[in-house]
Amino acid sequence: GRREQETLSFIRENLEKSDQLTKGMVSILSSFESRLMQLENSIIPVHKQTENLQRLQENVDKTLSCMDHVISYYHVAKDTDKIIREGPTGRLDEYLACIAKIQKAVDYFQDNNPDSPELNTVKGRFEKGKELLEAEFRSLLTRYSKPVPPILILDAISVDDELEVQEEVVLEHLPEAVLQDIICIASWLVEYGRNQDFMNVYFQIRSNQLDRSIKGLKDHFRKNSASSGVLYSPAVQTKRKDTPTKKVPKRPGTIRKAQNLLKQYSQHGLDGKKGGSNLTPLEGKDDVLDIEIDSYIHCISAFVKLAQSEYALLTEIIPEHHQKKTFDSLIQEALDNLMLEGDNIVSAARRAIMRHDYSAVLTIFPILRHLKMSKSEFDATLQGTAASTKNKLPALITSMETIGAKALEEFADSIKNDPDKEYNMPKDGTVHELTSNAILFLQQLLDFHETAGAMLASQVLLTLTLFVFFPETSSSVSSYTSEFSKRLLSTYICKVLGNLQLNLLSKSKVYEDSALSAIFLHNNYNYILKSLEKIHAGPQVSDGASVGEAENQGGGEVPKEEGANIHYDPWFGLPGRNTHHNAGQVHLCVVAEVWPRENQGQGPNQADGGEGVLWRSHLPGAEWVANG
Half-sphere exposure of 487 (CA within 13 A, CB side): 17
Q: Which residues contact 603 (CB under 8 A, 6 or more apart)?
A: 537, 610
Burial 260-281 (b: 16+ CB within 10 A, else e): bbbbebbbebeeeeebebebeb
Q: What is residue 61's predicted lDDT score, i.e. its pLDDT?
A: 92
CA gyration radius, the chain: 47
Q: What is residue 227's predicted lDDT score, i.e. its pLDDT?
A: 59
The type of residue at 411 is F
User: What does the pLDDT look like over 483-511, one tens digit per residue?
Assistant: 888 888 899 999 999 999 999 999 998 88
Contacts 24+ apart (CB under 8 A), 573-581: 573/498, 573/502, 574/498, 574/501, 574/502, 580/522, 580/547, 581/521, 581/522, 581/525
pLDDT over 70, % of the chain: 70
Q: What is residue 521's predicted lDDT score, i.e. its pLDDT?
A: 93
Q: What is residue 196's predicted lDDT score, i.e. its pLDDT?
A: 80
| pLDDT bracket for residue 619 (50, 70, 90) | very low
Tell me if 331 sits within 8 A of 195, measured CB to CB. no
Work out the angle at residue 100's Cα, subtended by the Cα atoms of residues 99 and 102, and round it to the nearest 5 degrees.
60
What does the DSSP assignment read for 92-147? HHHHHHHHHHHHHHHHHHHHH-TT-HHHHHHHHHHHHHHHHHHHHHHHHHHHH--P
Q: What is residue 165's predicted lDDT score, i.e. its pLDDT?
A: 53
| pLDDT bracket for residue 581 (50, 70, 90) | very low
Pairing state between β 624-626 and 613-615: antiparallel
Give the torsion through C-alpha atoms of 158, 163, 164, 167, to 10 deg. -60
Q: Which residues contact 565 (CB under 8 A, 6 or more apart)?
A: 576, 578
User: What does the pLDDT look like over 79-114, one tens digit per residue?
Assistant: 888 888 888 888 899 999 999 999 899 998 888 888
- pTM as predicted: 0.68
Q: What is residue 464's predicted lDDT score, i.e. its pLDDT?
A: 52
Q: Distance (Å, rounded) from C-alpha 525 to C-alpha 439?
A: 11
Q: Distance (Å, rounded) from C-alpha 426 to C-alpha 273?
A: 10
Instruction: State the alpha helices, DSSP H only, in 418-448.
Output: 433-446
What does the DSSP assignment read for 205-232? HHHHHHHHHHHHHHHHHHHHHHHT----
Largest CA distance in the chain: 196
Dihedral pair phi/psi, residue 274, rounded to 5°:
-75, 145
User: What does the pLDDT look like over 418-469, one tens digit per residue?
Assistant: 887 777 788 888 999 999 999 999 988 888 888 888 888 887 444 454 444 4
Q: Distance (Å, rounded) from C-alpha 293 to C-alpha 252?
A: 8
Dihedral pair phi/psi, residue 291, rounded to 5°:
-65, -40
Q: Distance (Å, rounded) from C-alpha 395 to C-alpha 376?
A: 15
Q: Distance (Å, rounded) from C-alpha 440 to C-alpha 258?
A: 8
Q: What is residue 604's predicted lDDT score, i.e. its pLDDT?
A: 32
pLDDT (average), residues 258-284? 38
Q: What is residue 15's predicted lDDT score, i.e. its pLDDT?
A: 93
Lowest mean pLDDT across 63-77, 210-224, 260-274, 277-291: 260-274
Q: What is residue 207's predicted lDDT score, i.e. its pLDDT?
A: 95
- Say yes or no to pLDDT of 147 above 60: yes
Name the average pLDDT for the chain: 75
Burial 355-376 (b: 16+ CB within 10 A, else e): eeebbbbbbbbbbbbbbbbbee
Q: Which residues contact 47 (CB under 8 A, 6 or more apart)?
A: none
Q: How many helices (H) and strands (E) does the chain have?
A: 19, 2
Helix (H) or strand (E) holding 271, with range, is none
Q: Distance (Å, rounded) from C-alpha 187 to C-alpha 425?
A: 78
Closest alpha carbon to 603 in 249, 247, 162:
247
Closest alpha carbon to 128 in 186, 83, 93:
83
Q: Distance (Å, rounded) from C-alpha 132 to C-alpha 501?
A: 78
Closest alpha carbon to 508 in 432, 578, 572:
432
Q: Distance (Å, rounded) from C-alpha 328 to C-alpha 344?
A: 23
User: What does the pLDDT look like over 28-68, one tens digit per residue?
Assistant: 999 999 999 988 888 888 888 999 999 999 999 999 988 88
Burial of 485 (0-12, 13-18, 19+ CB in 10 A): buried
